[in-house]
Every structure is written in structure tokens, then in C-alpha cells.
Amino acid sequence: MTPNSVEKSSQGSVAEIGTNKSYSADAVSTHSYEDNSSDRRVKTQPRGLKGHIKNFCDGFKIYKPELGVDTSKMTDLEKANVNAASAPLKRKLKSRHIQMISIGSAIGTGLFVGAGSALSTGGPASVIICYFLVGAMIFSTVQALGELAVAFPVAGSFLPLCSRFLSPAWGFTIAWNYAMQWFILLPLELVAASMTIKYWNTSVNSSVWVTVFFVVIMIINIFGVRGYAEVEFILSFLKVIAIVGFAILGIILNCGGGPVGGYIGAKYFYNPGAFANGFKGFCSVFVTAAFSFAGTELVGLTSAETENPAKTLPTATKQVFWRITLFYIVSLTLIGLLVPYNDKRLLGASSSDANASPFVIAIENAHIKVLPSIFNGVILVSILSVANSAVFACSRTLASLADQSFAPKCFGYIDRKGRPLISVGISLLFGLLSYLAASPKEDIVFTWLMALSGLSSICTWAVICLSHIRFRRAMTVQGRSLDELRFKSICGVTGSYLGFVLNIVVLIVEFWISLFPLGADPSAQAFFENYISIVVNILFIIGYILWKRRKTILWIRAKDIDLITGRTDYDAELNRRERAERKAYLHSKPWWYRVYKFWC
């Protein structure tokens, strides 16, 4: 495809991949689903209870937007690009929703409970260093994702873009890898929530609490993306308040302002020490830190349901990650100052054991009554927040798989309210695995379920970085200017290379730790409990190759990559003028404001 074949996009002409044919840009515009014909029909319904009931029932009917494009002669990849660009999802997410969704999905048990395991394994210095390094890796990864999501705010975000910029084989693998992660996370979080309740009540069977939480999650997601977003906003806000409150309390306790004990300072960095278990302990914390940030890519997955992605996503990708990094670094530094890494309550606890939370332990060490229960309530909120996000992410992933013909077409059923109903139902169906908590073999089952999704996020982030690298390469090869982009990654393509390399390093380190586990003898069981997800991904690729056979495409050349379908705006001159106006405006402001706007 030559650069000239896609010029004059503002006049409504879009070229197909590798051909001279063109079709209306309006037909594949990311705004094509804004057709409110169903809403207009709803308004004509009779008022009163009968009318409201009819409107409610009509909302569940399938909504099929007119593409205005003949897809009969297109390749599977071309059809997938058109489907992703025209998915009838609703743009109801505001900036506050996007930021809190990403914060809420990343700040959960990985911070509140998992940090305890990291502290006991590597010591406080390892925790601070590793979480900082992973925070930097995630920042560059999500900057790359932000650039792609603003340029292509299509359904499924990076999932169909992986097929577009790498190959359908890689897209198939990473999409099912991502779906598997959220499939498994929902029942795990529901069980974790039921176990957290035992902090206060051990007489009620865990299955009762699983049922209560399952029904709540189901009701929230029936209300669509707006209902999910509002609940997530509230839950995430509570978590942010808790972390800020703990930071203030931690400083007071460290300076000797608690009910008991005097000045603590950095004594735990000297006794028992700043590092534990040597280099292997450090590497174990590095892997744990990477797992703790799982879910932060949700900011990109929401692009097709965001009101104004060109304005909202750039701010969200910058602000969210600075906030997450600050929340992690500040709170974990205080944890390292308040809790020694050899505290017995940190050892041998599961990731869902609230009693092993270093936040709760720090408060209990200060002999502050009631507050441990309050913070345990925050942990419960965090668990439910992640479970809520699991249904959202899994349902959108399944719908994207259907758009790309990687899953049954029924998975792509989207109703007039913009809800992928079938995919939501399947996601909730997997949540029923949480009733295995009543089984005497629950530990074995959930250990292997967790193993299946263990490295999913690492693989996803690596592919996002690689997709951004390929996107920039295609822009260069096809003679397109970067001025066409409404938002460019702060880290540029160099940041994507760095993010990709660091993600590969995490996989290598995890491979080493899986072969030679810390404090245990090498065994096949220990290896596969940590690394089986990589084996499953290899099987996904092999399965795709066997499925497609001669039609398999393992790598798309840069000159053949589709840079047009689903693009919101690529008027270089208009973007250049807007950028000049913004630059002139910033120059009129103080230096500190310019620095703030650059990073936030």
C-alpha cells in the first residue's frame, strides 16, 4: 500500500490493505456505533411502567450497525480490522472513570497482601528497587499503548492491533492468553474475598460469601460499562484514600508518634537488614513486582468506550502511572521501615491471607485498635474491585476474539446498550469455579489455575511494546509523518524497546527461579507451577498454525501493515496547528506548570 493510496482521509476515503480498492471511512469509523437509532426508538415507546419494562427488554436485543462495506472479498485480517473499528460499544467513559479504572485494577492484593511476600523474600531495599524498576517498565509500556489507543480507539484495543501490526498468529495467541488471565482471576478473587471475611467471621461457610459477591458482580455488569465504571470509581477512590491515610499514619508511627514504641527510623534496614536471600531473593521480588502491576493495561482496553479518547487517554496514561508508582513506592518504603522482613506473619501466607498484609501488620505492631479491621475492609474492597474488572476485561477480550474470527461469532453479540452480553455471561460462568473453595482439594486446584495465568501480563506487555515498535516502523516505511499522531509516547520508540527487553528479562528471571526455586529443591512441579503459562502460549501458536495451515501468516511486513482502518484523525496539518497552539499556550505559563503538563 502506497502513501498516496490513503491520502485525503478527511474527505472519507480509506484504502484496503495491499489493494487499490477503497471504501467509505464513515463506514469503518470508530464513531459508527454512535447511531442512536435504538435510542430514538426507545423514546417513542409509551410512558409508564409498561413502557419502561419494554424499553428495558428492548435494550437486550442485538444491535447491528450498517457497515456500508462489502467484506465478501476481504481477507480475514481486513474483516477483523473493519469489525474492530465498527463495534457498537457505547462511549460512556469519562476521564475520571478511565484513571480510576486503571488505578483500581492495578492497586489490589498485589500491593496490600503480595507486598508482604516480596518483603519476606527479598528485604525492604529489594522491594523499593524492584518496584521502581517495574514501575518504569510499565510507564514506557503504557505510553506505547496510549499512542496506539489514541490513534486506533477500536474495540479490543491492543488485541486486534497485535494481529494488525505483528500477525494474526500472534494476535490469536495473545488474545487467548489475555482472556485466560481474566477467566481465572474472577474465581480466584471471589475465593480471596470469602477468605478475607474470615478475619471477622469464621462460622459462615465460604460458599455463602462467594454467592453474595458473585451476585453483586453480576448485577454491576448487567448495567453495562457505565455501571461498571461508576462502581469502579468509588471502589478505587476508597483504595486511594486508604493508601494516602496509611502514608500519613506510617510517617507518624515511624517518627514515634504511635500509642507504643518510640522512634523507629531505618533500624529494620540494619537489623535484620536491607536485603534477604541474596541475588535470588532480589530476582524473586522483581517477578513479584511485575505481577503486582497486572491489569494496568486496562486503560487501553477502554479506548473504544471512552467519550473522547484523543483528549482523555493521553492524560490518563501519564497521570495514572505516576500515581500508581508513587502509591507503590511511598507506601512500600514506609512498609520497609515499619515491618522487619523476618516477621513470622509474613512467612508462608497465601496471596489472599489478609493477616499476612504488611499494612495490617504495621498497624497491629503499633497496637492501634479497630484500624486493622478497617484496613482489612479496604483489602476486601480491593479484591472485589479486581473481580469486577475481571468481568469487564474478559468480556471485551472475548468480543474482540469473535471480531477477529478467533472465537464463535456469538461471543461478539452486543446489545443496544453496548453490552457484550454473551461474553459477560461466559465470564461470569467461569466465576462459578469459585465454589471449588468448598472442596478439600481447593489449594491444589487454585495453585494450578493461578499457574495458567501467571505470566499472562508479562507476555501482554511485551507484545504491546513490540506492536508499537512495528507501528512506528510501518509509519516510516510507508512514508507517513509522525505529525499525523494526536498523541506520541513520551518515551518514544526507544521506551518501547526498553519495555520489551525488560519484559523479556522478567521471563528469563522467572524461568531461572522456576528451575531453581528459592528455598526448595528443583522439581518438575515447581517449574510448571510457575512457567506453565508459557507452555500454553506455545501450544496456542502451534494450534493456530495447524488450524490455518497454508493460510498462516507469522509476520506481516511493514509495507503491508494497515495504518488506516479505524484511525480517528490523521490530518498532519491540523495536528501541527493544534500542537503549535498548545506549545504557545504552555510557553505563557510558569516553568513548573510546563513540567507538570509534560509528565501529567
Q: Is 434 helix (H, G, I), strand (E, B) or coil?
A: helix
Q: What is the pLDDT of residue 476?
A: 92
Cα(188)–Cα(207) distance, integer angstroms: 13
CA-nearest of 70, 89, 235 to 156 is 89
How far from 554 is each of 150, 162, 540, CA to CA, in Å?
26, 12, 13
Q: What is the pLDDT of residue 67?
A: 54
Q: Pull the grid cell for residue 264.
A: 523507629
All residues at 6 or more sequence positions from 221 whose CB lies less than 8 Å from its CB, including other chains: 227, 228, 388, 391, 392, 395, 424, 428
Could you report the per-residue pLDDT of 8-22, keeping only the tens digit for each?
A: 333 333 333 333 333
Cα(354)–Cα(336) distance, integer angstroms: 18
Q: What is the pLDDT of residue 504?
A: 92
Cα(91)–Cα(567) distance, integer angstroms: 16
Q: What is the pLDDT of residue 7?
A: 39
Q: Are 398 and 156 in contact (CB under 8 A)?
A: no
Model-level pTM? 0.83
CA 183, chain centre distance (Å) = 14
Reported as type and span, the H/E element at residue 368 is none
Q: What is the pLDDT of residue 323?
A: 72
CA-nearest of 470, 140, 498 to 296 is 140
Q: Pull the grid cell for residue 505.
A: 528479562
- The identity of residue 118, as a single letter, is A
Q: What are phi and psi of 395, to 5 degrees?
A: -65, -40
Angle at 315 between CA 99 and CA 144, to 5 degrees: 95
CA-nearest of 117, 97, 71, 103 to 382 is 103
Q: Are 105 and 386 in contact (CB under 8 A)?
A: yes
Q: What is the pLDDT of residue 493?
A: 93
Q: What is the pLDDT of residue 248?
A: 92
Q: What is the pLDDT of residue 517?
A: 87
- The identity of residue 570, as a single letter, is Y
Largest CA distance in the chain: 77
Cα(248)–Cα(362) distance, integer angstroms: 13
Residues (pLDDT < 50) of the chain are 1-45, 349-351
For every residue of 48-61, DSSP letters joined together read: SHHHHHHHHHHTTS
Q: What is the pLDDT of residue 333?
A: 92
Q: Pull the grid cell for residue 570.
A: 490523521
Q: Is 415 helix (H, G, I), strand (E, B) or coil?
A: strand
Report CA torsion sign: 458, 461, 465, 467: positive
Q: What is the pLDDT of residue 393?
A: 87
Which residue ranges form the domains of the chain, and what is each CATH number?
3-30+62-569 (1.20.1740.10)
Angle at 250 between CA 248 and CA 256, to 5 degrees: 110
Cα(582)–Cα(23) distance, integer angstroms: 34
CA-nearest of 350, 357, 387 to 372 is 357
Q: What are the beta bridge partners of residue 13?
A: 24
Q: Are 181 and 457 in contact (CB under 8 A)?
A: yes
End-to-end CA distance of the chain: 37
Q: What is the pLDDT of residue 173?
A: 92
Could you report the per-residue pLDDT of 240-293, keeping only the tens digit for each?
A: 888 889 999 999 999 988 777 678 888 999 989 899 888 888 988 888 888 788
What is the DSSP code (8-state) at residue 270? I
Cα(541)–Cα(195) distance, integer angstroms: 37
Q: Are 306 and 313 in contact (CB under 8 A)?
A: yes
CA-nearest of 200, 181, 195 to 443 is 195
